[in-house]
Amino acid sequence: MLTALFGGTFDPVHYGHIHPAIALAKEIGLTQISLLPNQIPPHKPQPEATTEQRLEMLNLAIEDLPLFSIDTREISSEKLMRPSYTIETLEKWRKENGYQKGLAFIMGQDSLLSLPTWHKWQTLLDYCHLLICRRPGYAEKTDDMELQNWIDTHQTTNIKDLHDCPFGYIFFAHTPLENVSATEIRQNINNEQNYKNLLPTKVWHYIHQHALYNAKKK
Ligand SMILES: Nc1ncnc2c1ncn2[C@@H]1O[C@H](COP(=O)(O)OP(=O)(O)OP(=O)(O)O)[C@@H](O)[C@H]1O
Ligand SMILES: O=C(O)c1ccc[n+]([C@@H]2O[C@H](COP(=O)([O-])O)[C@@H](O)[C@H]2O)c1
């Protein structure tokens, strides 16, 4: 069985996470996706919601979706003051599970293009496959030749490779384009604009109840 981790800040979780992940699971035959909230995003300001609130919103979002579970290893790590470097999480996973089991890390196209700024990025494929979801506004090709060559070297279009090998491939999924970001949601809330159609209703209620992301209500 291929284990799939979907890392993110999830501040808040939205349909741009959920819908592509469901389609990806269908496309390649995943039975479980673990959402992996980070504690300290390596490349972003600290989230506005607390870790507990982001976790509660994730729990609400997946309540009726058995495909998803939550992996809390990054938020329950003893090194809470360190950025949540993905490579360290993957190393830890391999230490616990060995190298025979299949592991994949899911990300959006924007994250793939930012990979050269990630900690030890070229070694990620020694631990997992990368499953890439399409994202509006981000092209499949990059002008960064080092990254493009790396992608070309490791890309597969054969789903069987992902199941037969425990790590090492990059796969571009044919996921639906969801034009939403957490930034847009936070901005909409702050500007008192509608955002209800961008995330699960239970998460919307939670944000409303706790007056999250609204500077005027703080
Ligand atoms: N609309 C989307 N379509 C495809 N992938 C997405 C989408 N939104 C987020 N992702 C992916 O989900 C992962 C976690 O994203 P994150 O939680 O940071 O959400 P975000 O909307 O990008 O946040 P922010 O707007 O605060 O930067 C990343 O790999 C990102 O590429
Ligand atoms: O390891 C890194 O250097 C690194 C740099 C940027 C992002 N990440 C991870 O990529 C995932 C998506 O990140 P973000 O910032 O888009 O929420 C999340 O799990 C982050 O911890 C990891």
* Residue 154 in domain: yes
Q: What is the pLDDT of residue 170?
A: 98
What is the token pair recorded at 140?
A: 């499949």
Query: Distance (Å, rounded) from C-alpha 54 to C-alpha 28?
Result: 28
What CATH code is carried by the domain that includes residue 81? 3.40.50.620
Q: Please, which residues have CB within 8 angstroms of residue 216's CB and are 6 or more apart in sequence?
A: 190
* Residue 165 in domain: yes
Kindly give the distance from the C-alpha atom of residue 85 to the centroid of ligand 2, in angstroms, as a whole number: 7
Rg (CA), the chain: 17
DSSP β-ladder status, 170-172 and 129-133? parallel
* Residue 215 in domain: no
* Residue 191 in domain: no
The per-residue pLDDT string of the chain (218 residues; one tens digit each, 9 = 90 and over) reads 899 999 999 999 999 999 999 999 999 999 999 999 999 999 889 999 999 999 999 999 999 999 999 999 999 866 567 898 999 999 999 999 999 999 999 999 999 999 999 999 999 999 999 999 999 999 889 999 999 999 999 999 999 999 999 999 999 999 999 999 999 999 999 998 999 999 999 999 999 999 999 877 66
Q: Is the ipTM of this complex over 0.90?
A: yes
Nearest to 112 by CA among 139, 83, 73, 85: 139
Residue whose CB lies within 8 A of the most ligand 1 atoms, among 44, 110, 174, 183, for a mutation test? 110
Helix-, strand-, coil-residue percentages of the chain, each rounded to 5: 40, 15, 45
Domains contained in the chain, number: 1
Ligand 2 site: residues with CB under 6 angstroms? 7-9, 36, 38, 41-44, 84-87, 111, 118-119
* Residue 200 in domain: no
Strand, coil or helix: what is 171?
strand
Q: What is the pLDDT of residue 80?
A: 62
Kindly give the distance from the C-alpha atom of residue 57 to the centroid of ligand 1, in angstroms, as a whole number: 15
Residue whose CB lies within 8 A of the most ligand 2 atoms, among 11, 43, 180, for a mutation test? 43
Query: Distance (Å, rounded) from C-alpha 213 to C-alpha 202?
Result: 16
Instruction: Give residue 10's domain range.
Output: 2-179
Amino acid occupying residue 167: F
* Residue 85 in domain: yes
* Residue 198 in domain: no
